[in-house]
Structure 1
Amino acid sequence: MKTRFVLINTSHAGNVGATARAMKVMGFDDLVLVAPRWPNVLRREETIQRASGALDILKNARIVETLDEALDGMTHLCATAMTPRDFGPPTLSPREHFKQLLNAAPAAAPPPEGVAFLFGCERFGMSNEDVYRCHAALCIPTDPHFSSLNLAAAVQLIAYDWREALGGYPAPVANAERGLADAAQIAGMLGHWEQALTATGFLDPAAPKKLMPRLNQLFNRANLSTEEIHILRGIAKAMQHNMPSQPALAVPAAQQ
Structure 2
Amino acid sequence: MTAPDPTRFILLQTSHPGNVGATARAMKVMGFSDLVLVAPRYADVQHQAEAISLASGATDVLRNARVVDSLAHALDGVTYACATAMTPRDFGPPTHPPRELFATLGAQGQRVAFVFGSERFGMSNDDVYRCHASLSIPTDPQYGSLNLAQAVQIIAYEWRQALGGFEVAARTAPSLRADGAAVQGLLDHWQRSLTSIGFLDPEAPKKLMPRLNQLFNRAHLTPDEVQILRGVARAMTSESKRHDK
Of 114-123 and 92-101, deviating more is 92-101
Match for residue 100 of structure 2 among 89, 93, 96: 96
Instruction: Quickly say closer, same or farther: Cα 1:198–1:175, change in 2 above 3 A.
Output: farther
Counterpart CA distance in 1 for 2:210 and 2:179 is 17
Counterpart CA distance in 2 for 1:182 and 1:86 is 69
State the SS of the aligned residue for 1:130. Answer: helix
Letter in 2 for 1:58: L
Quote the residue 1:20 is aligned against: 24
Match for residue 69 of structure 1 among 59, 73, 88: 73
Match for residue 230 of structure 1 among 204, 227, 235: 227
State the SS of the aligned residue for 1:32. Answer: strand
Letter in 2 for 1:230: Q
Tell me the CA shift for residue 99 of structure 1: 1.1
Residue 10 (structure 2) pairs with residue 6 (structure 1): yes
Quote the residue 1:153 is aligned against: 150
Superposed structure 1 runs of 4+ greater than 3 Å apart? none
Match for residue 82 of structure 1 among 78, 86, 89: 86
**Residues 1-256 of structure 1: matches in 2 within 5 Å?**
2-102=6-106, 111-244=108-241
State the SS of the aligned residue for 1:242. Answer: helix
CA contact (8 A) 1:6 1:34 kept: yes
Q: Percent identity?
A: 63
State the SS of the aligned residue for 1:192. Answer: helix
Counterpart CA distance in 2 for 1:170 and 1:232 is 35
Tell me the CA shift for residue 174 of structure 1: 4.4
Counterpart CA distance in 1 for 2:171 and 2:57 is 24
Letter in 2 for 1:40: D
CA contact (8 A) 2:10 2:74 kept: yes
Tell me the CA shift for residue 171 of structure 1: 2.7
Q: Deviations over 1:11-59 (max 9, x none)?
A: 1111001111111111111111011111000101111111111111112
Q: Deviations over 1:95-152 (max 9, x none)?
A: 111113236xxxxxxx133111100111110111111222211101112222121101
Counterpart CA distance in 1 for 2:169 and 2:186 is 31
Q: Structure 1 unaligned segments of length 5 or more: list them.
A: 104-110, 247-256
Instruction: Quickly say closer, same or farther: Cα 1:36–1:245, change in 2 above 3 A.
Output: closer
Counterpart CA distance in 2 for 1:208 and 1:80 is 70
CA contact (8 A) 2:106 2:159 kept: no
- Count how many residue pairs are aligned between Structure 1 and Structure 2: 239
How big is the alpha-carbon RMSD for the aligned residues of Structure 1 and Structure 2?
1.7
Please, what TM-score do these two structures have when normalized by structure 1? 0.88
Please, what TM-score do these two structures have when normalized by structure 2? 0.92
